[in-house]
Amino acid sequence: MTLLETVFVVALVAKLVAELVLDALNRSQVAKNANSLPSELDGIMSAEKFAKANDYTVTKSRFGTIGLLLDAVILAAVILSGVLPVAFEAWSASVGDAGWSSALFLVVVMIVLGLPSLPLEYYEQFVIEEKFGFNRSTTKLWVVDKIKGSIVGLVIGFPLLWLLMSLVGWMGEFWWVYGFAIMFIFQLVMMVLYPMLIIPLFNKLTPLEDGDLKSRLMSMSDKAGFKCNAIQVIDGSKRSAHSNAYFTGFGKFRRIVLYDTLIDQLGEDEIEAVLAHEIGHYKKGHIPKMIASSAIMMFAGFWVVGYLAKSEEFFAGFGFATPSIGIAFLLFGLIGGLFTFWMSPLFNVMSRKHEYEADAFARDVVGDWKPLSNALRNLSEKNLSNLMPHPAYSGFHYSHPTLLEREAAMKSGE
């Protein structure tokens, strides 16, 4: 085993052990509160719903352990078995090593690596989600979604990868700077095009129909100083009973998207508060801040790939005879998560700060913290949320504060 392979094994084991420990801590937290409804949740969730939410959390956690172990085994096998160098050498010998062939090799490898997870995804959707009353999908719709997703990924991903592979010959040593610029621009363009071109392939988006709710939401938007070009409703209920709302696009292309399940589950004052929260993300500048942080991470990633692509020792350490920009991207994509995982708490801290600010904005616009609090309580109950996760687990996996944390912040006026 080479030095780099040893580093890979250590990083893989460290991440796997950390995730298993975090899952175990969270399950132990659930078990500790399983016998009775904690006093903190009195009036928020019934004892029956709390028990069901605990069962849902533990079931998903135990099933997630299987996924973690499977992913680790597959990744270890792919990296350590030597199959990638052999496959790439055979591919290059038969197809060539032009930019398009390297890009296609990456696409094929990623599709193949995604196949083992399909049975787990199917089980989660049609057994676990079905058991707890969330599944609204059908096998046919699930299969069609997978096929559509693969086609969209191929249509978008292959030309983009081909362009990135070609930059080395066009731009020389600093190709990665141009690569970052292209990907950053692509990300901005997709923020606009995704809701217009991609989402309609999977879901139906319709304008919120005229009526008291729309009038109330538009009035609140004006009060908040937000020119709302469109409030759209997405038919999320065709796949799941889970509910959500999100903000997409920027500038004149910005729009609010509400799940139809959200509208069914909440009262008008609660929906108004949820929308005010989403507007708060825009008014507080969270969108450009997240874009900027994403750009920094992307720039760092391209720098790393550019650096590794010049290192013969790096490729030799994983069994490749010659350097290849395509392989540099592939190895970075496969291994990078082992290291960025440890940065999750940092990103979650920033995300939670934004959520607190958006909550405060909604409270001030609506004039009371209770409508948003009631909305969050209803959504937590309907989605069987784990309202008392272990702090360590929450730090790594929760981009939003818990319900109790959000309510405490809103009550205190923060």
d(CA 129, CA 135): 5
- Say if residue 400 carries a ligand binding annotation: no
Catalytic residue among 278, 357, 381, 407: 278
Please state, in angstroms and rounded to a whole number, the distance separating the CA atoms of residues 215 and 220. 9
The arrangement of strands across the sheet holding 255-259 comes to 205-207, 231-234, 255-259, 245-248
Q: Nearest 5°: phi and psi at 140?
A: -60, -45
Catalytic, 359? Answer yes
Side-chain half-sphere exposure of 296, counting CA atoms within 13 A: 6
Query: CA angle, corner 123, sides to 118 and 129, nearest 5?
Result: 125
Residue in 19, 270, 359, 381 annotated catalytic = 359
Separation between Cα atoms, residue 9 and residue 23, nearest integer Å: 21
Confirm whether 40 is a catalytic residue.
no
Residue matched to tokens 């086609």: 151
Q: How far is CA 234 from the centre of its chain?
A: 18
For residue 354, say whether it is annotated as part of any ligand binding site: no
Angstrom distances, CA of residue 180 to CA of 101, 280, 308: 21, 30, 15
Q: Residue 277, annotated ligand binder? A: yes
Phi, psi of 234 (to 5 degrees): -105, 140
Annotated binding residues for Zn(2+), written as ranges, equal 277, 281, 355
**Active-site annotation, residues:** 278, 359
Annotated binding residues, written as ranges, equal 277, 281, 355
